[in-house]
């Protein structure tokens, strides 16, 4: 037993990677990696994949991103810094189109972030066993595990943030190693460009550096001089983030796009009923996907203990915890409305959660060293970790078992339709209208054609169809034969081009 423990301590990094890969297999990542976009947030998944295809189909111009839906001019639209989409597009060009590439890029970034988290926790706790247990406890969020191997950029931004904190903390401990500072801000800059909401982390770290020096009684001149390099890196990161977001806002404005969120959704702009609805979603819908209930209970107990035992906290860790916690609260309030429908916004709270819990546990360990190191305490945390991981696996399976919701069912309906359109002579450059599709880009992505989608066949939608035809729609695609019972639709259909698997293809009827 002692030899095994010594081996794990000596080779802890390698052991962690092996355990992490086993966890990936446990969650069936090797299968999920090759799945089409499906399930929860199918809309945002296909938005991401649309950016990649847009680059491929429109000349690979980095600063001219876009999607399939023509609600904006020529589909041009910008959101997060598109480096991941652009990289994926280049890999497509080199090795062919494979959807798993974006999943793999995101997962690779997350894996390095998880590894960085493990190394950070070892530095903070100074106990190999608890570094393992707490790392996997933090990873056992259904939401985190679902998006780590997915098409959305949020988990990748979190992975970059965790890596940034690892190198930044090492610099905080050893200020002579400027390479650590550079590495930390490099990861922070990338994460902030990909998801601007993560910018609170480099801002928090820079503030931590200042407060740490103030707490040591350093003079103003000394503090300013000592933090000149961090200030330069922080300012450069800030300017990058501002530059991209200003560019994206102007780009979208020029393209008449209002689809992608480039502003806050603060709680104070909502009415009482709206606030209540968001809390209802958080506590009655998404709550079970954040973490295993017992894990949340233990986290809550630890957080309370951290407050009670604050005088036993490590000073540097306490400063980081307070600053990041304040930043997390600000983030939650600024984007409060998004927590109603977008579970992945929870990912932005994980760095704050990590520091709160680890600060609390180290305070507990400092006050009760015998109890924290007792075998029964260790076993209790290990059992909790295993139960939490298993719970997340069950929740993940449910997410993929119910893949055909009202939104993602369009993916299965249109499977193979892209090739069929090729066969009947519908050019990839033809503008199409798809009836019906609840997603802006989902169905169009599977058809690999730009155009518009309509959510229903109501009178208002038929008026919109006429507008799209007037603006250049050439082909109308129906996903249900029963739509032909609508006379307002039929009169706008031209020659029938073909039919396959209840997918009907018509030329648009132009009056002139």
Which residues partner with 507 through β-bridges? 475
CA distances from 404 to 215, 364, 384, 409 (A): 55, 46, 32, 5
Specify the pairing of strand 503-508 against strand 493-500: antiparallel
CA distances from 286 to 273, 289, 341, 398 (A): 18, 5, 9, 14
| Beta-carbon contacts of residue 194 (< 8 Å; ≥ 6 apart) | 80, 81, 83, 84, 153, 156, 157, 160
Instruction: List, as one string, the DSSP characters of 14-50.
Output: HHHHHHHHHHHHHTTHHHHTTPPS-STTHHHHHHHHH
Measure CA 81 to chain center.
13
Which residues partner with 499 through β-bridges? 504
Task: State yes or no: cis peptide before 436, omega within 30 of 0.
Answer: yes
The whole-angstrom separation of Cα 119 and Cα 495 is 64
Taking alpha carbons only, the member of 351, 329, 373 closest to residue 120 is 351
The domains of the chain are located at: 44-401, 409-508
The whole-angstrom separation of Cα 316 and Cα 412 is 52
**3-state SS assignment for residue 334:** helix
Taking alpha carbons only, the member of 167, 322, 318 closest to residue 233 is 167
| Beta-carbon contacts of residue 251 (< 8 Å; ≥ 6 apart) | 63, 76, 77, 78
H or E stretch at 109: helix 100-125
The whole-angstrom separation of Cα 440 and Cα 71 is 9
Can you give the pLDDT of all 512 residues of the chain as single tens digits? 667 777 787 889 999 999 999 999 999 999 999 999 998 899 999 999 999 999 999 999 999 999 999 999 999 999 999 999 999 999 999 999 999 999 999 999 999 999 999 999 999 999 999 999 999 999 999 999 999 999 999 999 999 999 999 999 999 998 888 999 999 999 999 999 999 999 999 999 999 999 988 877 777 777 788 888 999 999 999 999 999 999 999 999 999 998 887 888 999 999 999 999 999 999 999 989 999 999 999 999 999 999 999 999 999 999 999 999 999 999 999 999 999 999 999 999 999 999 999 999 999 999 999 999 999 999 999 999 999 999 999 999 998 886 567 888 898 899 889 999 999 999 999 999 999 899 999 999 999 999 999 999 999 999 999 999 999 999 999 999 999 999 999 999 999 999 998 899 999 987 66
Tokens of 167: 């190198």
The pLDDT of residue 21? 97
CB 71 within 8 A of CB 440: yes
The pLDDT of residue 404? 64
CB 290 within 8 A of CB 346: yes
**3-state SS assignment for residue 259:** coil
Sheet-wide strand order for 475-478:
451-454, 432-435, 475-478, 503-508, 493-500
Phi and psi of 224, rounded to 5°? -65, -45
Phi and psi of 342, rounded to 5°? -120, 95
The pLDDT of residue 1? 64
The whole-angstrom separation of Cα 328 and Cα 144 is 17
Taking alpha carbons only, the member of 390, 265, 232 closest to residue 339 is 265
35: left (phi over 0), alpha (psi -120 to 50) or beta: beta
Q: Give the pTM.
A: 0.95
CB 234 within 8 A of CB 185: yes
């Amino acid at each position: 037993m002692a030899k095994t423990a010594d081996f794990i301590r000596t080779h802890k990094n390698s052991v962690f990677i092996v355990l992490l890969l086993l966890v990936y297999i446990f969650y069936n990542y090797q299968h999920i990696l090759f799945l089409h976009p499906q399930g929860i947030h199918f809309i945002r998944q296909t938005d991401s994949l649309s950016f990649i295809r847009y680059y491929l189909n429109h000349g690979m111009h980095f600063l001219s991103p876009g999607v399939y839906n023509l609600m904006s001019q020529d589909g041009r639209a910008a959101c997060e810094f598109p480096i991941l989409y652009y990289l994926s597009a280049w890999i497509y060009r080199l090795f062919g189109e494979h959807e798993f590439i974006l999943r793999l890029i995101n997962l690779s970034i997350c894996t390095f972030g998880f590894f960085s988290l493990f190394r950070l926790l070892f530095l903070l706790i100074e106990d190999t066993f608890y570094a393992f247990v707490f790392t996997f406890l933090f990873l056992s969020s259904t939401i985190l595990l679902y998006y780590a191997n997915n098409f959305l950029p949020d988990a990748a931004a979190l992975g970059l943030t965790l890596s940034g904190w690892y190198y930044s903390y090492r610099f905080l401990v050893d200020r002579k190693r400027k390479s650590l500072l550079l590495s930390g801000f490099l990861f922070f800059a990338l994460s902030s460009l990909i998801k601007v909401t993560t910018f609170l982390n480099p801002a928090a770290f820079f503030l931590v550096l200042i407060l740490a020096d103030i707490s040591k009684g350093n003079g103003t001149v000394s503090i300013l001089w000592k933090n000149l390099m961090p200030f330069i890196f922080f300012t450069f990161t800030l300017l990058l983030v501002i530059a991209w977001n200003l560019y994206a806002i102007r780009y979208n404005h020029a393209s008449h796009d209002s689809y992608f969120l480039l502003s806050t959704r603060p709680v104070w702009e909502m009415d009482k009923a709206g606030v209540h609805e968001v809390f209802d979603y958080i506590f009655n819908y998404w709550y079970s996907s954040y973490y295993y209930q017992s894990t949340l209970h233990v986290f809550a107990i630890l957080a309370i203990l951290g407050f009670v035992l604050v005088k036993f906290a490590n000073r540097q860790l306490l400063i980081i915890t307070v600053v990041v916690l304040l930043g997390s609260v600000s983030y939650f309030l600024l984007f409060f409305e998004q927590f109603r429908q977008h579970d992945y916004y929870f990912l932005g709270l994980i760095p704050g959660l990590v520091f709160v819990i680890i600060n609390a546990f180290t305070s507990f360990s400092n006050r009760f060293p015998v109890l924290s190191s007792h075998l029964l305490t260790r076993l209790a945390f290990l059992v909790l970790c295993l139960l939490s991981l298993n719970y997340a696996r069950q929740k993940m399976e449910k997410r993929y078992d119910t893949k055909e919701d009202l939104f993602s069912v369009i993916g299965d309906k249109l499977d193979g339709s892209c090739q069929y359109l090729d066969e009947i002579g519908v050019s990839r450059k033809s503008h199409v209208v798809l009836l019906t599709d609840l997603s802006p880009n989902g169905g169009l992505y599977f058809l690999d054609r730009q155009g518009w989608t309509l959510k229903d066949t109501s009178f208002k939608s038929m008026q919109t169809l006429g507008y799209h035809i007037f603006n250049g729609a050439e082909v109308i695609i129906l996903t249900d034969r029963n739509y032909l019972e609508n006379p307002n639709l039929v009169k706008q259909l031209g020659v029938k081009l073909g039919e396959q698997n209840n997918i009907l293809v018509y030329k648009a009827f132009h009056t002139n």
